[in-house]
């Protein structure tokens, strides 16, 4: 079995009495792209800084392969952790040229020329090598920051909101390029972000954080399809909840019987994702179309059901009009809490 590259166990960080990171645990596999996702202030940057050695944890442990980064007895210096860090503000030295920035951390001077050439090619920076930082764009500066990080051959790269200063199209392109490079080079990475789409796009697995704690870890698909709580569901896509009474794998609700992912009993909340709903015209139903938005490939319907309003998607070819009565049937079993 492959051993994890990084093992984090019960990691905590305090600022005086305030607990910013509260006993988080996760493992990172070699070559894995991982993300810490959560709202501002949930502790993701502090966790990342603790892994890098820039913040001293108050408890727990961090192991990197057979090396201890941190535990009750050890606190390895940041520069001995073979870890690259990419910040939101690039942290480029303004007085050094692009190529000097890229080669800054390379210890073996005989390797400098080869690594520089490789990095310039890998990140498409060949024509900018001799320029100064103020002579290139924000996207190019971020590439320089990435090249400088990769030049020291880290086994792990930590990134704190590295794309948030770039426009959406450039951010997506750079994100995909970086992911491609990490995968090709076998580099493990942790991306800190508050942007769900970014986390889904980049990460093989991600951890959802709130108030210093990890609420759930999983692949993007697992977190979207099988969130453990309605709070986690609300991080991802459209989250609409109806109440029901469950018995086993079925719940009775205002729109009829609904199949549930898990076996529960009693009062429950059921998550209905718009794309998981089949909509059929039905005169006997008490669910009524209130609004229709044409969005090209699909139409988004607003449906009034007895206890709330629900959004559902249908193909834009579906013939349907405001006031129609419809039956709503989940296509697959629904998460319930």
Ligand X SMILES: Nc1ncnc2c1ncn2[C@@H]1O[C@H](COP(=O)(O)OP(=O)(O)OP(=O)(O)O)[C@@H](O)[C@H]1O
Contact residues toward ligand X (CB under 6 A) are: 15, 18, 20, 38, 40-46, 194
Q: Which helix (H) or strand (E) holds 280?
A: strand 277-281
Residue placing its CB nearer to ligand X in the complex, 164 or 176: 164
Helix 112-122 × helix 138-151 angle, to 10°? 140
β-bridge pairing 188-193 and 156-160: parallel
Which tokens hold the place of 252?
């009775």
Q: Tokens 């310039």 sit at which residue?
A: 120
Q: Taking phi first (over 0 means left), then psi (-120 to 50 degrees means alpha), and beta for anything else, what does residue 90 get? A: left
Nearer to ligand X, 45 or 225 (CB): 45
Query: Closest by alpha carbon to 136, among 173, 160, 102?
Result: 102
Rounded to a whole number of angstroms, the minimum distance from the CB of residue 116 to ligand X is 32
Q: CB nearer to ligand X: give 90 or 277.
A: 90
List the beta bridge partners of residue 271. Answer: 241
State the alpha helices, DSSP H only, in 287-335: none
Phi then psi for residue 262, to 5 deg, are: -130, 165
- Which residue, 194 or 299, has its beta carbon nearer to ligand X? 194
Q: 40 vs 169, which CB is nearer to ligand X?
A: 40
Asked if residue 58 lies in contact with residue 43, where contact means CB atoms within 8 angstroms, the answer is no
* Shortest distance, position 211 Cβ to ligand X, whole Å: 9
CB of 119 to ligand X, least distance (A): 28
Asked whether the beta carbons of 67 and 174 are under 8 A apart, the reply is no
Report, in Å, the least distance between residue 46 CB and ligand X: 3
Q: Residue 177 CB, nearest distance to ligand X (Å)?
A: 23
Nearer to ligand X, 75 or 302 (CB): 75
* Closest separation in Å from C-beta 334 to ligand X: 30
């Amino acid at each position: 079995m492959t051993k994890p590259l990084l093992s984090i166990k019960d990691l905590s960080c305090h600022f005086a009495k305030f607990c910013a990171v509260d006993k988080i645990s996760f493992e990172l596999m070699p070559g894995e792209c991982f993300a810490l996702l959560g709202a501002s202030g949930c502790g993701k940057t502090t966790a990342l800084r603790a892994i890098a050695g820039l913040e001293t944890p108050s408890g727990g442990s961090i192991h990197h392969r057979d090396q201890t980064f941190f535990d009750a007895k050890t606190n390895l210096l940041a520069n001995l952790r073979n870890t690259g860090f990419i910040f939101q503000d690039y942290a480029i030295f303004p007085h050094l040229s692009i190529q000097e920035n890229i080669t800054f951390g390379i210890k073996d001077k005989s390797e400098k020329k080869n690594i520089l050439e490789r990095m310039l090619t890998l990140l498409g920076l060949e024509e900018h090598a001799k320029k100064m930082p103020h002579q290139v764009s924000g996207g190019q500066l971020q590439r320089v920051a990435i090249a400088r990080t990769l030049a020291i051959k880290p086994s792990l790269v930590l990134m704190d909101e590295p794309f948030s200063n770039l426009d959406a199209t450039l951010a997506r392109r750079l994100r995909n390029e970086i992911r491609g490079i990490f995968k090709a080079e076998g580099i493990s990475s942790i991306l800190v972000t508050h942007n769900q789409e970014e986390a889904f796009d980049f990460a093989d697995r991600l951890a959802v954080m709130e108030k210093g704690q990890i609420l759930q870890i999983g692949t993007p698909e697992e977190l979207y399809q099988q969130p453990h709580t309605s709070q986690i569901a609300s991080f991802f896509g459209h989250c609409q909840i109806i109440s029901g009474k469950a018995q086993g794998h079925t719940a009775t609700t205002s729109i009829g019987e609904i199949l549930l992912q898990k076996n529960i009993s009693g009062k429950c909340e059921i998550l209905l994702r718009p794309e998981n709903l089949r909509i059929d015209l039905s005169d006997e139903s008490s669910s009524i179309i209130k609004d229709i938005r044409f969005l090209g490939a699909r139409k988004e319907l607003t449906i009034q059901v007895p206890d709330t309003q629900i959004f559902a998607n249908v193909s834009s070819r579906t013939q349907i009009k405001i006031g129609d009565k419809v039956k709503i049937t989940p296509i697959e079993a629904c998460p319930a809490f």
